[in-house]
């Protein structure tokens, strides 16, 4: 009996530990559907770091420059040519279905009209104005609300990036990589003041901006309990039950967020998103002009959606709100390809497991249509292995070009399917990536055995 009780307690502990990592999928499946269908989002890192073109927040944290010099950039942040309608229109043309913008990075500088007064050295001489571009920079206005309005006018979802970390705030324990202000256990009241501060800002954003998606960052510096992550999740959902939260709220989010690197294997949780820079830096930096090519980005995008994920592609505006022409061009190209191949992208599901086709694939929602993304170009044959279905037709997507197919190696006494070969002529080539549409006789059925009789 004692062994049974201990085993049950261990199971309960395991379930509890796993519950800390993810919300049960069945609880959030309905509200996650638009996210699953969207496939592409645009990430925007914009803040005072774009004045001198330095690392966002990390420039002073890693002591590449002094904190005073970093914050001096407030004086040069004008947003003088910022046109939120132009941004939203470009995002729409890219084929993205949502955008996420930095409302506040680790430097603690807000881009919306926050009314929360930051912490000060004790005792404070006077209550300082909010640490925002509205009150402390020439921009002098809320930059997030107008952008959200333009996105929604175009039917796009609006996401708010929010840093839990605030290295500028005197009530926050951390400052630079090799210095800190205090230990939480030694001054819990000070830590509570900071929690009240950042949670007050979350409440402001929820009330003023009503994000469709929250993109938290910085949770690694403290535990879920220290952040009061579950409380923050409840605050958000009370304001908007349909809000989606990324996986960086110390385990209390709705989807995983790998950064820069594509997972080799499909993440086990149903929803995930790769966040990726268009160049090397997150925000605008003058030397960062070696943007990823359209070809390479589409190859990455196909790989991501083939594993059932989304791509959140980052761009970095200059301090005045203009976008580098190279970034604009990449988004325009991406939009042309997405428009041509829309049915293989939006609303699709993860494709075939590795080994069946050499390259990414997606499936229609009913799994009766298979889309093949040809990484190796055209002018040769594509092979599909282990497909139990009969192929009804094949065509080059976006070109109305039918292609013939043949089945090779099917043995009458074995249940192992034959190999499906599709010859793709050079004239089928897309400038960036060709996609084939393979219509099946029913929902996809795959042979996963070792060959032979079984």
What average pLDDT score do residues 403-407 get? 97
Domains and CATH numbers, the chain: 26-340 (3.20.20.80), 349-440 (2.60.40.1180)
What average pLDDT score do residues 54-83 get? 98
CA 401 centroid distance within chain: 34
Please classify residue 220 by burial: count the beta carbons closer than 10 Å to its beta carbon, then call 0-12 exposed, 13-18 middle and 19+ buried.
exposed
Is it the case that residue 365 has pLDDT exceeding 60?
Answer: yes
Distance CA 3, CA 395 (A): 61
Q: Are 41 and 310 in contact (CB under 8 A)?
A: yes
What average pLDDT score do residues 367-387 get? 93
Helix (H) or strand (E) holding 217: strand 213-217
Distance CA 54, CA 59 (A): 6
What average pLDDT score do residues 57-66 get? 98
pLDDT at 22 (0 to 100) = 67
Helix (H) or strand (E) holding 40: strand 40-44
Beta bridge partners of 100: 43, 159
Q: Sign of the C-alpha dihedral, residues 356, 360, 366, 369?
A: negative
Q: How confident is the model at residue 267 (pLDDT cuts 50, 70, 90)?
A: confident
pLDDT in tens, 319-359: 999 999 999 999 999 999 999 999 999 999 999 998 999 99
pLDDT in tens, 160-188: 999 999 999 999 999 999 999 999 999 99
- As a whole-number percent, the residues of the chain with pLDDT over 70 amount to 94
Distance CA 71, CA 53 (A): 13
Q: How confident is the model at residue 363 (pLDDT cuts 50, 70, 90)?
A: very high
Q: Which of 375, 389, 318, 309 is nearest to 345 (CA)?
A: 309
Is it the case that residue 59 has pLDDT exceeding 50?
Answer: yes
Q: Which residue has the higher pLDDT, 377 or 286?
A: 286
Q: What are the tokens at 430? A: 């897309």
Q: How confident is the model at residue 7 (pLDDT cuts 50, 70, 90)?
A: very low
| Mean pLDDT lowest among 18-27, 107-116, 304-313, 315-324 | 18-27
Q: How confident is the model at residue 449 (pLDDT cuts 50, 70, 90)?
A: confident
Is it the case that residue 408 has pLDDT exceeding 60?
Answer: yes
DSSP E strand boundaries for 74-165 = 98-104, 157-163
Q: Are 360 and 376 in contact (CB under 8 A)?
A: no
- As a whole-number percent, the residues of the chain with pLDDT over 90 amount to 85
Strands of the 419-424 sheet, one edge to the other: 380-384, 419-424, 405-408
Please classify residue 30 by burial: count the beta carbons closer than 10 Å to its beta carbon, then call 0-12 exposed, 13-18 middle and 19+ buried.
exposed
pLDDT in tens, 84-101: 999 999 999 999 999 999
pLDDT at 24 (0 to 100) = 86
pLDDT in tens, 192-235: 999 999 999 999 999 999 999 999 999 999 999 999 999 999 99
What average pLDDT score do residues 284-299 get? 97
pLDDT at 21 (0 to 100) = 54
Q: How confident is the model at residue 379 (pLDDT cuts 50, 70, 90)?
A: confident
What average pLDDT score do residues 37-55 get? 98
pLDDT in tens, 242-254: 999 999 999 999 9
**Secondary-structure percent of the chain, ordered helix, strand, coil, rounded to 5:** 35, 20, 45
Q: Which residue has the higher pLDDT, 438 or 267?
A: 438
Is it the case that residue 16 has pLDDT exceeding 70?
Answer: no
Distance CA 451, CA 229 (A): 50
What average pLDDT score do residues 68-78 get? 98
Backbone angles phi, psi at 75, to 5 degrees: -70, -20
Distance CA 223, CA 365 (A): 38
């Amino acid at each position: 009996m004692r062994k049974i009780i201990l085993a049950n307690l261990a199971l309960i502990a395991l379930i509890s530990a796993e519950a800390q990592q993810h919300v049960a999928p069945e609880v959030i499946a309905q509200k996650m559907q638009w996210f699953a269908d969207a496939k592409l989002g645009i990430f925007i890192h914009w803040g005072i770091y774009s004045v001198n073109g330095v690392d966002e927040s990390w420039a002073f944290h890693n002591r590449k420059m002094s904190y005073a010099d970093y914050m001096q950039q407030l004086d040069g942040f004008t947003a003088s040519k910022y046109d939120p309608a132009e941004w939203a229109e470009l995002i729409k043309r890219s084929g993205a279905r949502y955008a996420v913008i930095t409302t506040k990075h680790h430097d603690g500088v807000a881009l919306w009209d926050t009314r929360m007064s930051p912490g000060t050295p004790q005792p404070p001489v006077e209550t300082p104005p909010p640490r925002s571009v509205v009150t402390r920079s020439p921009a002098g206005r809320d930059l997030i609300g107008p952008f959200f309005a333009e996105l929604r006018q175009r039917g796009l979802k609006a996401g708010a990036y929010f840093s839990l970390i605030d290295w500028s705030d005197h009530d926050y324990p951390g400052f630079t990589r090799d210095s800190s202000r205090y230990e939480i256990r030694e001054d819990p009241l000070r830590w509570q003041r900071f929690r009240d501060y950042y949670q007050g800002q979350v409440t402001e954003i929820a009330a003023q901006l009503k994000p469709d998606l929250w993109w938290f960052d910085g949770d690694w510096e403290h535990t879920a309990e220290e952040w009061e992550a579950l409380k923050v999740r409840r605050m958000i959902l009370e304001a908007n039950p349909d809000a989606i939260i990324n996986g960086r709220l110390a385990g209390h989010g709705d989807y995983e967020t790998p950064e820069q690197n594509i997972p080799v294997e499909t993440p086990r949780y149903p929803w995930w998103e790769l966040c990726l820079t268009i160049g090397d830096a997150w925000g605008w930096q003058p030397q960062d002009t070696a943007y990823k090519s359209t070809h390479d980005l589409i190859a990455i995008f196909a790989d991501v959606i083939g594993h059932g994920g989304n791509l959140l592609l980052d761009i970095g505006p200059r301090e005045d709100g203009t976008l580098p022409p190279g970034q604009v061009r990449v988004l325009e190209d991406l939009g042309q390809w997405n428009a041509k191949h829309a049915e293989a992208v939006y609303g699709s599901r993860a494709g075939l497991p590795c080994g069946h086709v050499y390259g990414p694939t997606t499936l229609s929602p009913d799994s009766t249509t298979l889309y093949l993304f040809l990484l190796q170009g055209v002018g040769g044959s594509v092979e599909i292995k282990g497909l139990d279905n009969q192929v009804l037709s094949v065509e080059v997507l976006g070109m109305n070009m039918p292609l013939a197919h043949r089945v090779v190696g099917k043995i009458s006494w074995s249940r192992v399917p034959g190999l499906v070969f599709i010859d793709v002529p050079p004239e089928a080539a897309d400038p960036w990536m060709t996609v084939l549409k393979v219509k099946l006789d029913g929902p996809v059925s795959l042979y996963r055995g070792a060959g032979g009789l079984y």
